[in-house]
Amino acid sequence: MFEVTHTTRFSYEALVSRCLNEVHLTPRALPWQTVYQSTLVVDPAPATFQHRKDYFGNDASTFAVIEQHDRLTATATSLVKVETRQQPKSDLAWEIARDQIAAAVDDSCLEAAEFIYSSPFVPILKELVPFAGESFKPGRPLLEAASELSHRIFKEFKYDPKATSIEAPLVEVLRNKHGVCQDFAHLMIGACRSLRLAARYVSGYVRSGPRVQGAQASHAWVSVFIPNIGWVPFDPTNDVMPSENHVTLAWGRDYGDVTPVKGVTLGGGLQTVQVEVYVNPV
């Protein structure tokens, strides 16, 4: 079981008269993940606070602060138990999987089909087709090919928190071969979608360790849809298949659908943002 604390601090150069924010900071309740408690504390105290389920079934909260402020802090604390997941097995060729998704042979394929298209942070790039093709050889099982693609990103790309921002175009990540977990997730998703395979973006946290990257902030990985199996997770940043050390927050087409904290302000000028994440076993 983990206690997860996620703190986001905004500092503004001038007074903000009011702001409206949306957050995805509540872990999902899943067959392998039990959420015992999840709270969000905002300072200054919001005038309004609402909770809802978004289009993808994630827990989203919105709040408005209408008093003047030059700092804002949002702290989410969750108590979560994550079970070990068995490694999936499938020898379904990726071309057959692609065709089944396109034909919507069952309800799960129909639902997965919306994740084969481009999205704001993951455009379909022609450069991604040969990149994906190095792993997706004709007739190769989808599970095996996706696993190798994740491994290649881990081996060929450098994790560098200072190298990029979330606004960096995907083509630059592919060309420069460095980035952060969000970049690597977008890259793997884009490679899969370039072949008309369904892949979605997952946000969450990973327990820190001597060789774990991305544990100091919110983390990101990928789920690839395999017919008759379902969504299979891959973490290209750490070259693992997420299991008991990964806490799932939300999923969507890309980062924009599940941004941990985003919003608009009236006033404020330039701002600085600090994020602290702790995943502690309890």
Does the structure show a pLDDT above 80 at 165?
no
Please tell me the predicted confidence (pLDDT) of residue 167: 67
Does the structure show a pLDDT above 70 at 166?
no
Does the structure show a pLDDT above 80 at 164?
no
Report domain extents, the chain.
2-83+259-281, 94-242
Helix (H, G, I), strand (E, B) or coil at 240: strand
Q: What is the pTM of this model?
A: 0.95
CATH (one of 3.40.140.10, 3.30.70.100, 3.50.50.60, 3.10.620.30) for 94-242: 3.10.620.30
In percent, how much of the chain has pLDDT > 70? Answer: 97
Per the prediction, the chain carries an average pLDDT of 94
- E strand intervals along 83-186: 158-159, 178-179
Assign domain 2-83+259-281 to a CATH class. mainly beta
Angle, vertex CA 222, rays to CA 261 and CA 21, nearest 5: 10
pLDDT by residue (tens digit) across 168-200?
789 899 999 999 999 999 999 999 999 999 999
Rg (CA), the chain: 19
pLDDT by residue (tens digit) across 106-152?
999 999 999 999 999 999 899 999 999 999 999 999 999 999 999 99
pLDDT by residue (tens digit) across 17-28?
999 999 999 999
- Confidence band, pLDDT 50/70/90 cuts, at residue 217: confident
Say how far apart CA 136 and CA 131 lie, in whole Å: 9
Helix axes 94-103, 142-156, angle to 10 degrees: 110
- Is residue 272 left, alpha or beta, with left meaning phi > 0 and alpha meaning psi from -120 to 50? beta
